[in-house]
Amino acid sequence: GQQLNQSPQSMFIQEGEDVSMNCTSSSIFNTWLWYKQDPGEGPVLLIALYKAGELTSNGRLTAQFGITRKDSFLNISASIPSDVGIYFCAGRHTDSWGKLQFGAGTQVVVTP
């Protein structure tokens, strides 16, 4: 079956540091989405990517759709305490009618 691997599983960083996480797939995706889940809340969409090579920013967040269409990364610059949470990547397979496949998530903890 399709495999979507997200890494790292968790990160402990100091306030002000940059954060980077990525997702890789065993097959080609036509869409990559990045979500953030705050503690006790549902996931909220951060960035959506629709074209290979696309680089998109949302404030301190930057995400890229890999040129091979099998990977994506998310960077957070100058982390702040409210960046804490679980970040999920999600991809839509080219053969899929619209179903999203989710990564296992990256837990981010920011210390002052």
Partner 1 sequence: EAQVTQNPRYLITVTGKKLTVTCSQNMNHEYMSWYRQDPGLGLRQIYYSMNVEVTDKGDVPEGYKVSRKEKRNFPLILESPSPNQTSLYFCACKRDPWTGELFFGEGSRLTVL
Rounded distance between C-alpha atoms, residue 52 and residue 72, angstroms = 9
Binding segment toward partner 1, per CB under 8 A, in 11-19, 56-64, 68-76, 94-102: 94-102
Maximum pairwise Cα distance, the chain: 44
d(CA 20, CA 34): 13
Does residue 52 bind partner 1 (CB under 8 A)? no
Position 112 contacts partner 1 (CB under 8 A): no
Q: Which of 32, 43, 69, 91 binds partner 1 (CB under 8 A)?
A: 43
Give the one residue of 17, 54, 77, 102 binding partner 1; rule: CB under 8 A: 102
Is 99 an interacting residue with respect to partner 1 (CB under 8 A)?
yes
**Closest to 72 (Cα-Cα) out of 94, 50, 40:** 50
Q: How far apart are CA 112 and CA 14, in angstroms?
A: 6
Residues 58-87 within binding reach of partner 1 (CB under 8 A): none
